[in-house]
Amino acid sequence: MLRSRISLVIAGVYVWIAMVACGGIAVETIVIYPNVFHDVPASLAGASEFFEVTGPADLFPPLGAATVVLSIVTLVLVWRLRAARWWIAASVATLVFGEFLFSVLFFWPRNEIMFDEGLAEHSAEVLRRTAAEFETGHWGRLAASAATATLAYIGFLRYHRWFHLSANPAGTGVQQTETEARDA
């Protein structure tokens, strides 16, 4: 029972951090990006100056790493429960493929072009095109983040339900074993 309780807490923390990450990406999309991309290339230079002390690049890599670690730990901990397993596994897949790998392969090179190299190495037209690609692709990253958080939440709810049913709450007369829940 202690292992199940610890698993429930860790799964809850995973859901929480996935939702925080999704909220951060939504704020970035709605509040920050309109300012960053409103007048490329001048707005990119202004954004670089604004983010000199701290910016999204300081928040999202450690938050993303924590989310990936917690997602994998959660998947391992709930694996025996079929009712939660595939929801958590799907959340890990959207996190790893839809957010992490997509960011590494699509966004990181564009960040380098726009913010590290800038006008010193690229024309204004290349920067405008890169910014437009970035903004368009970012909606996909936001959708993947929302899917990750939603799938993790559903998996958590399934695990939470099993946990409380298996504890045989007073008055229900029902006790569900992990084997029964696994087959549900």
Of 96, 126, 102, residue with least CA distance to 114: 126
* Helices 56-78/124-166 angle, 10° precision: 30
Average pLDDT over residues 69-73: 96
Average pLDDT over residues 104-125: 95
Average pLDDT over residues 41-47: 93
Give the model's pLDDT for residue 3: 79
Q: Which amino acid is at 94?
A: T
Of 92, 99, 72, residue with least CA distance to 152: 92
Give the model's pLDDT for residue 179: 54
Give the model's pLDDT for residue 168: 57
User: In 10 A of CB 149, how many CB atoms?
Assistant: 25
Q: Which amino acid is at 23?
A: G
Residue 122 Ramachandran class (φ > 0 left, ψ -120 to 50 alpha, else beta):
beta
